Chain A
Amino acid sequence: MLSIFLNGETREVAADLDLAALVDSLSLPAKRIAVELNGIVIRRADWAGTPISEGDRIEVVHFVGGG
């Protein structure tokens, strides 16, 4: 198991997860979300095959109402 920061929360995840699997596990709508790994936006096409490491900071975002 690895310890990562996901959307500001500490999370334990399996050691062999890639970004695609992590996003899958969140049950999100398919489109119009974005992912940032350690400050860098990772394009959807690259999620599969991007490994997750101990201490990684990940942000997964979508859109909500705003002004």
Chain B
Amino acid sequence: MRNEVREALIAKLTALADDEVILAHRNSEWVGHGPILEEDIALANIVQDELGHATLWYGLRQQLDGSDPDQLAFFRDANQYRCCELVELPKGDWAFTMLRQYLFDLYEAFWLEAARHSTYQPLADAAQKIIREERFHLQHTRAWIERLGQGTEESNRRLQQALEMQWGYAQQLFVPIPGEELLVAEGIVPDLASVKERWLEHSTRHLQAAGLKLPINPGYQPTSRTYHTEHLWSILAEMQSTARWDAEAKVW
């Protein structure tokens, strides 16, 4: 693999893993606070799955540059993280959390479907493994969008409010990272433009069927993963505190 392709792949794997870690940690804030025990468990399951996916992506990076996944997750500062801003936003209410997870699951499912055909075999294998779980996540969050959208006036209003906040942020999922065109040219990762086309078509149809209006003005659309919201600092402070407090701990 050419050096610049390798560097781009390392950066892409980092972005993929960082999205999963931050979204998982954000959703883990619901543990013990879910609207009902069954949904509390369901969201915790999704969180564990997303952390598993992050482990896979960091693991692929480790094969390329020997980096330690735990070091990356727990000892990088916010400005070294490459997650998108959507996953950083505070958890909000249940509608906000379900909508974000739905928009993310739909993107991830389509990206993985295409990534199964990657010319880089370890990535193709990982995508094949992950997509099974992602299909189930998507069924669950899609069901919530329908129920909140068509539920009561209150649930529809909350979901609509969440959509207006998140729609612009969600577009960042389809902004390539610097050097990503090299990976696409080599067939290593899917072209985000075609993933976005499917995502837009499906999400628009489903959201409208659930009685929601797509924002006419999409609002703020982040473009670079080197910039973050203020929320990333506080979530990392909490997530990393134990590891940083006793970095040498062998047994907890």
Question: Do A and B associate with each other?
Answer: no
